[in-house]
């Protein structure tokens, strides 16, 4: 696969945190569900990443893996649209991680902002480990092994995708340089035919001399159309446009997921550790109980006190669940003390109950049939491995490790 095709490939992973909640659903999973129909998606459980922080309690990971996969499936992530797998079942990630670790400067990892932040946030845990420092590099291997063009992540993960780009660039620079690269590339140009060769050369010149991005895209599109050149030549020609070596590992882009509009019950980010979640498998009585008791604008002590929706987490729920006329009803009723808070919450309760009903039903079916879940993952893992092996072959070849 060349780097233009790889733009169409999306990869994302989630650490196995167990059952998912509405924050995951509205913040991440719904986005995946949309992307799975627009791109070739590889979605996986990052169980090795869980070990970087939970190395002292690995026994809990397994249950979390399956609970999370069931929730993905129940929420609508589709195994016929996306490839679903578990990181540790594709050991190629580990080999690529190891090989990348040889050429990754320590400073690049120490400077990743999440490194010091996490260590400080998880003070009670000793995170002065080799594995934890390597967390973002393992993530780079996850991405690069599929030559993914886009990586949907939240803002906190953008630095990891940025590191991945630097690692890919360094890899291509170090190992994409065949001794006779320029001659081989010029030979390959000729194989495009007179017209193609001329166009390629002039686009390459515009890009290299004037940084013309348009020309870069056009040259890449031109290469994509070529039918008579080998994969090796294609990679050479991709790299040659930009003046580097052969493009073995394309640089991915972060596809920034907009911040979740859905807060937790207390208005902070929804998170298990804040105890403010509604899980995707929450029973109806608990949904009702939790929403009925959730805090509202603290200034509304009595029914006759007007409130301000902007100071109330219930309003944010309405923005997720309610149409325009309902939102107007809330706004006006709240500001004028025309409606009570329980009255205001009622449509939200109904919407959450209705939203989760089919999800819970599907989750129940998967729970009752764990072998179907295992089969989905086995199939996805096999597909993922085929792709991963191909990349790893090219990587070994580029590094001179393909001897027998």
Cβ atoms within 10 Å, residue 72: 26
* Residue span binding ligand SF4 (CB under 6 A) among the ranges 53-61, 71-79, 292-300, 372-380: 292-300
Check binding of 341 to ligand SF4 (CB under 6 A). yes
User: Which residue in the set 32, 315, 321, 366 belongs to the binding site for ligand SF4 (CB under 6 A)?
Assistant: 315
Q: How far is the CB of 138 from ligand TRP (least distance, A)?
A: 7
In three-state secondary structure terms, 222 is helix
* Residue span binding ligand TRP (CB under 6 A) among the ranges 61-69, 139-147, 293-301, 348-356: 139-147
Between CA 338 and CA 341, with CA 339 as vertex, the angle to 5 degrees is 140
User: Which residue in the set 330, 352, 356, 373 belongs to the binding site for ligand SF4 (CB under 6 A)?
Assistant: 330
Check binding of 13 to ligand TRP (CB under 6 A). yes
13 makes contact, choosing from ligand TRP, ligand SF4, none, with CB < 5 to 8 Å by partner type, with: ligand TRP
Cβ atoms within 10 Å, residue 80: 6
* Residue span binding ligand SF4 (CB under 6 A) among the ranges 138-146, 215-223, 268-276, 334-342: 334-342
* Residue span binding ligand SF4 (CB under 6 A) among the ranges 98-106, 158-166, 268-276, 312-320: 312-320
In three-state secondary structure terms, 326 is helix
Task: Identify which of residues 237 and 312 has a Cβ nearer to ligand SF4 in the complex.
Answer: 312
Residue 151 has phi, psi (to 5 degrees) of: -130, 100
Check binding of 296 to ligand SF4 (CB under 6 A). yes
DSSP string across 74-101? HHT--TTTEEEEEGGG-THHHHHHHHHH
Tell me, residue by residue from 272 to 301, as one string, x for binding to ligand TRP by CB under 6 A and - for no binding: ------------------------------
| CB-CB contact of 320 with 278 (8 Å) | no
Cα distances (Å, whole numbers) of residue 87 to 166, 338, 395: 22, 53, 19
Q: Dihedral of CA 310/311/314/320: which sign?
A: positive
Task: Identify which of residues 144 and 314 has a Cβ nearer to ligand SF4 in the complex.
Answer: 314
Distance CA 221, CA 4 (A): 7
Check binding of 297 to ligand SF4 (CB under 6 A). yes
Q: How many residues bind ligand TRP (CB under 6 A)?
A: 13
Q: Which of 117, 99, 206, 217 is nearest to 157 (CA)?
A: 117
Distance CA 320, CA 59 (A): 37
* Residue span binding ligand SF4 (CB under 6 A) among the ranges 1-9, 199-207, 223-231, 333-341: 333-341
Distance CA 397, CA 200 (A): 27
Check binding of 49 to ligand TRP (CB under 6 A). yes
Tell me, residue by residue from 193 to 222, as one string, x for binding to ligand SF4 by CB under 6 A and - for no binding: ------------------------------
Q: Which of residues 149-168 bind ligand TRP (CB under 6 A)?
A: 151, 153, 157
Q: β-pairing, 82-86 with 150-153?
A: unpaired
Helices 30-38 and 61-75 cross at an angle (nearest 10°) of 60
Task: Identify which of residues 125 and 311 has a Cβ nearer to ligand TRP in the complex.
Answer: 125
Q: Which of 270, 238, 262, 353 is nearest to 315 (CA)?
A: 262
* Residue span binding ligand SF4 (CB under 6 A) among the ranges 9-17, 219-227, 276-284, 306-314: 306-314
In three-state secondary structure terms, 54 is helix
Give the footprint of ligand SF4 on this chain (CB under 6 A): 296-297, 300, 307, 309, 312, 314-315, 330, 334, 339, 341, 344-345
- Rule CB under 6 A: which residues touch ligand TRP? 11-15, 46, 49, 139, 142-143, 151, 153, 157
């Amino acid at each position: 696969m060349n780097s233009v095709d790889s733009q169409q490939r999306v990869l994302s992973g989630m650490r196995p945190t167990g059952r998912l909640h509405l924050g995951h659903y509205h913040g991440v999973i719904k986005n995946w569900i949309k992307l799975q129909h627009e791109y070739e998606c590889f979605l996986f459980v990052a169980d090795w990443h869980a070990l970087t922080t939970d190395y002292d309690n690995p026994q809990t990971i397994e249950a979390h893996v399956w609970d999370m996969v069931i929730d993905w499936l129940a929420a609508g992530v589709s195994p016929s649209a996306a490839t679903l797998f578990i990181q540790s079942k594709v050991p190629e990630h580990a080999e690529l991680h190891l090989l990348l670790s040889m050429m990754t400067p320590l400073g690049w990892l120490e400077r990743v902002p999440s490194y010091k932040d996490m260590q400080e946030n998880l003070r009670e845990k000793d995170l002065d480990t080799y594995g934890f420092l390597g967390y973002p590099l393992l993530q780079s291997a996850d991405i690069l092994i599929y030559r993914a063009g886009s990586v949907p992540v939240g803002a906190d993960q953008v630095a990891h995708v940025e590191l991945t780009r630097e690692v890919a660039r360094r890899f291509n620079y170090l190992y994409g340089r065949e001794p006779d690269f320029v001659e081989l590339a010029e030979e390959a140009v000729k194989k495009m035919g007179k017209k193609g060769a001329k166009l390629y050369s002039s686009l390459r010149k515009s890009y290299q001399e004037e940084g013309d991005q348009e020309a870069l895209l056009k040259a890449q599109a031109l290469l994509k159309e070529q039918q008579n050149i080998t994969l090796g030549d294609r990679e050479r020609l991709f790299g040659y446009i930009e003046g580097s070596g052969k493009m073995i590992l394309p640089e991915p882009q972060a596809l920034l997921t907009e911040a979740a509009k859905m807060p937790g019950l207390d208005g902070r980010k929804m998170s298990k550790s804040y105890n403010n979640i509604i899980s995707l498998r929450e029973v109806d009585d608990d949904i009702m109980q939790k929403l009925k008791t959730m805090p509202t604008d603290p200034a509304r002590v009595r029914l006759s006190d007007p409130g301000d929706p902007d100071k109330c987490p219930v309003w944010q729920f309405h923005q997720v669940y309610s149409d325009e006329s309902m939102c107007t009803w809330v706004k006006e009723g709240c500001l004028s003390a025309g409606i009570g808070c329980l009255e205001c919450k009622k449509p939200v309760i109904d919407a959450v109950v209705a939203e989760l009903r089919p999800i819970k039903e599907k989750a129940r079916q998967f729970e009752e049939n764990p072998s179907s879940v295992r089969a989905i993952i086995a199939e996805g893992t096999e597909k993922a491995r085929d792709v991963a092996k191909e990349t790893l072959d090219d990587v070994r070849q580029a590094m001179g490790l393909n001897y027998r």
